[in-house]
Amino acid sequence: CDARQPYGCPAGQAAYYGRGPIQLSWNFNYKAAGDALGIDLLNNPWRVEREPDVAMMTGLWYWNTQNGPGTMTAHNAMVNGAGFGQTIWAINGSLECNGGNPAQVQSRVTKYQQFTQILGVPTGANLYC
């Protein structure tokens, strides 16, 4: 929780951990997602882990609207040809890219390659961040 935010940490300092399909974390992300979805996630972040529809909505919200530490949303990276590596930047780039955690990046790329093979679609270029 970033206590410097004007709204503080009403659910508690340790309440804003990663939940949902994109592992929403930090109070500012819970507040922004909740505001966008019309759900009070700042005061009740547990809804993301307890309600599957809320979890999916937060994942889709982040995927489609948030750049994170990257320069574009993960959605834009995939549909505009920037590649899978840019989705890593958008979601966790500041922790994983530029040598931050090469094993985790490799794990993500390997899983992505497995899924594209199952689906019978090309991976595209720029797999790594």
Whether 127 is in a domain gets the answer: no
Q: pTM, whole model, 2 decimals?
A: 0.89
Low-confidence ranges of the chain (pLDDT < 50): none
pLDDT at position 78 is 96
pLDDT at position 96 is 95
pLDDT at position 71 is 94
What's the mean per-residue pLDDT of the chain? 96
Long-range contacts of 92-99 (CB under 8 A, 24+ apart): 92/68, 93/68, 93/69, 93/129, 94/68, 94/69, 96/129, 97/129, 98/129
Whether 4 is in a domain gets the answer: yes
Question: Are 63 and 22 spatial neighbours (Cβ–Cβ below 8 Å)?
Answer: yes
Is residue 8 domain-shared with residue 52, that is, in the same domain? yes
State what percent of residues in the chain have pLDDT above 90: 98
Whether 128 is in a domain gets the answer: no
Is residue 60 domain-shared with residue 30, that is, in the same domain? yes
> Would you list the DSSP string of the chain?
--TTSTT--TT-TT----BTTTTB-SHHHHHHHHHHHT--TTT-TTHHHH-HHHHHHHHHHHHHH--TTSSS-HHHHHHTT--HHHHHHHHHHHHHTTTT-HHHHHHHHHHHHHHHHHHT----S----
Is residue 3 domain-shared with residue 56, that is, in the same domain? yes
Is residue 26 domain-shared with residue 6, that is, in the same domain? yes
pLDDT at position 111 is 98
- How many structural domains is the chain composed of? 2
